[in-house]
Amino acid sequence: MVKQIPNLITSLNLLCGCVAALSIVFGDPLAAAVFAFLGIFFDFFDGLAARALNAQSEVGLQLDSLADMVTSGLVPGLVMMHLLSMSVFGSDLSVWFEALQNDAWNLSAKRWIPLVGLLIVVGSAYRLAKFNVDTRQRDHFIGLPTPANALFILSLPLILMYDGNLWVKDVLSNPWVLIVIAIISSLILNANINLFSLKFKSWRFKANRVGYVFIVFSVVMLVLFKFLAIPIIIISYVIVSVLQTLLSKN
């Protein structure tokens, strides 16, 4: 029974992802973000539990990827669809679905713009499939991990809802900006860049100093900038990883 604890944690990740997906489809980005964040929290700890209990298994590996596909693949794709629908039509996905069924926008090409968000789903699926067969990604990642990408996308509607900076809101309400973000997001998931892992194998500082320093930096950013800090943290994560790779080569 103890050996099933990591799979139970992974299953909670999957369950949270399902609720998050339903929430965004019915027009509640806040609930979607809360459940997706909770799912990513479970995703962070299932690996730790598996190593601590010596309960790592092939089933657990596959279940983890399937859960991530929902929480960190499907959900951010739907969130991007929601943002694009709001930016182009001023309506959430539920209204967009209804108008699409009723052909309310005739043959206008712009009615299909929200579907660009599904590029994130496709990019996430390909990234997770590669991860399962790539033996190089044990101590680091190649390409942006799906949970990190999901956090980036999930932060965008929260910034629009709670950040008072009008300039930021104008930028994130621009459909062309959102389309570019969706395309870059799907590409960087599968980019050939090395990124350090925050899934610690032990709690020792020396072995995880970069991770610990980055966590402290992230906490400071969150205190100072709240939801706006999340994209800053993810971008910083990529930059620090690239610099670390360049320094190690030199």
The domain segmentation of the chain, as residue ranges, is: 2-137+145-192
- What are φ and ψ of residue 196, in 5° steps? -70, 150
pTM of the model: 0.88
CA distance 215 to 220: 9
Q: What is the pLDDT of residue 90?
A: 84
> Is residue 184 within 8 Å of 153, Cβ to Cβ?
no
CA distance 140 to 118: 27
Whether 18 shows a pLDDT value over 90: the answer reads yes
Architecture of domain 2-137+145-192: Up-down Bundle (1.20)
Q: What is the pLDDT of residue 200?
A: 57
Whether 107 shows a pLDDT value over 70: the answer reads no
More confident residue, 12 or 102: 12
Whether 99 shows a pLDDT value over 70: the answer reads yes
Q: What is the pLDDT of residue 205?
A: 58
Using one digit for the tens of pLDDT, what is the confidence trace for 25-63? Answer: 998 999 999 999 999 999 888 776 666 666 667 777 788
Q: What is the pLDDT of residue 244?
A: 77
Whether 209 shows a pLDDT value over 60: the answer reads yes
> Is residue 145 within 8 Å of 195, Cβ to Cβ?
yes
Whether 224 shows a pLDDT value over 60: the answer reads yes
Whether 232 shows a pLDDT value over 90: the answer reads yes
Q: What is the pLDDT of residue 121?
A: 97
- Give the chain's mean pLDDT: 85
More confident residue, 110 or 1: 110
